[in-house]
Amino acid sequence: MSAAAIPDLGVALRRRVAGFARTLRDNGYKIGLAESADALRVIAAEGVDRPAAARSALKALLCGRRSDWEGFDALFDAYWLGRRVKTRVATSNQAALATQSTQRLLGPATASSGGQDLATDVARGPGNDADNAAPQGRREGASRFETLARTDFRKIADPDELAKAHALAERLSRRMRANLTRRTRNARKGTRIDLRRTIHASLGSGGTPLDLVHRLPKKRPLRLVLLVDASGSMSLYTGIFLRFVHGLLDHFREAEAFLFHTRLVHVSDALREKDTMRALDRLGLMAEGVGGGTRAGDALATFNRWHAARVLHSRTCVVIFSDGYDTSPPELLGAEMQRLRRRCRRIVWLNPLIGWEGYAPTARGMAAALPYIDLFAPAHNLASLAALEPYLIRL
């Protein structure tokens, strides 16, 4: 369309719309001049006189992907209504708009993403005030947090950087928890249509969707059982793992958590505390022996004997955070892993040492456990934790 067809809404509103388009682009939306012009026409249309109407119209116009659709409401509310402001982004080249803030939602990360989606999903701190921001501030901040997401936890020595890593780990786990609890199944009837599967089913009829595929919630959601190694050899990783687990357990009924070192401790109730520091304080009182040796075989034997019947069922995924160093006899660990494997759907072993150059699982305990592990993956940085989500969603 020609530029003459664009309605004249005044300089101030045109700048606001341009700033919103820039905000969307900064958060991964494919917005160009044509879309910006169409947005002006939508806002000038008759009946679009309230924020709710404008949100619906602009959402239909500017969202081309599912991830765009899911994140649009938060971006719209942050930019136009000043709600849910979490992270600073550059919203316009105009100095008057440099203080606008918005939020980028944490999308599903994969091993190949390098944790890029983690970059902007961090709580705004006192040093991130928009008053001190230049328009390029978000890109510099995003780059810094992308680097943090790829940094091995043992190399984070600065207390401020460690606190940011803790915050990112907990936010990541909460996003994963939300995705895992919204699991759905195919159905012939329902209120939600699965567009992807409907289109795929229509290929046999020349593209005409004769049969609609619907989605309904699964009756038996995935259950997670998390076993965290709190021994001395894991001390550089345990803090971030616990914050990650705390985020998963918060409001997630289908999850249980245990710490193990020389013995096994059930810590689900403590980690369901809303306040992170209060949860960690309770852990400190419960988990006497943290930072000592590791008797993983004995800990698994205790779990299989006293807890497995209560917390495991056919849709349970057991996630073990450990480096695999064990002072128990390897035969005991192998036998208990075999017993555990028969009672659950999957066993995932997350080992931070996999991220080290030249690592091989040659420790006797780790070698004894390997035959019973479905996924043996790294857990040395935030990006590797984010890569766990796609695997869990498929279960």
| pLDDT tens digits, one per residue of 303-327 | 999 999 999 988 899 999 999 999 9
Q: Are 212 and 193 in contact (CB under 8 A)?
A: yes
Number of alpha carbons in the 13 Å side-chain half-sphere of residue 279: 21
The structural domains of the chain, with segments of one domain joined by +, span 10-149, 185-217, 223-393
pTM, to two decimals? 0.59
The pLDDT of residue 316 is 93
Whether 288 shows a pLDDT value over 70: the answer reads no
Do the beta carbons of residue 208 and residue 285 sit within 8 Å?
no
pLDDT at 264: 93
Say if residue 272 is exposed, middle or buried (CB neighbours under 10 Å; 0-12, 13-18, 19+): middle
Q: Which conformational region is residue 265 in: left (phi greater than 0), alpha (psi within -120 to 50 degrees), or beta?
A: beta
Tell the residue number behind the tokens 């939020």, with chain if given: 103
- Measure the CA–CA gap between 347 and 341, rounded to whole angstroms: 7
pLDDT of residue 289: 58
Task: Locate 349 and state its tokens.
Answer: 């072993």
Q: In which band, very low, low, confident or very high, does the pLDDT at 64 lie, cut at 50, 70 and 90? A: confident
Closest CA to 327 of 296, 353, 349: 296
pLDDT at 111: 38
Q: What does the DSSP assignment read for 246-286?
A: HHHHTT-SSEEEEEESSSEEE-HHHHT-SSHHHHHHHHHHH
Strands (E), the chain: 87-88, 101-102, 184-187, 192-193, 214-217, 223-229, 255-260, 264-266, 316-321, 346-351, 375-378
pLDDT digit string, tens, across residues 92-145: 333 333 333 322 222 333 333 444 444 444 333 334 433 334 444 444 455 666
Residue 373 identity (one-letter amino acid): I
**CA–CA gap between residue 395 and residue 346 (Å, rounded):** 8
Tell me how far apart the alpha carbons of residues 105 and 120 are, in angstroms, rounded to a whole number: 8
Q: What is the pLDDT of residues 243-265, one digit of tens each?
A: 888 888 876 778 899 999 888 99
Model confidence at 52: pLDDT above 80:
no
- Determine what percent of the chain is predicted with pLDDT higher than 90: 23
Residue 167: how many CA atoms within 13 Å on its side-chain side?
A: 16
Question: Which residue's entry shows tokens 């960690």?
Answer: 280
Residue 13 pLDDT > 60, yes or no?
A: yes
- The yes-or-no verdict on residue 221 having pLDDT over 80 is no
SS3 351: strand
The pLDDT mean for the chain works out to 76
- The class that CATH gives domain 223-393 is alpha beta
Which amino acid belongs to residue 61?
L
Strands 87-88 and 223-229: unpaired
357-372: burial string, b at 16+ Cβ within 10 Å, e else? eeeebebbbbebbeeb
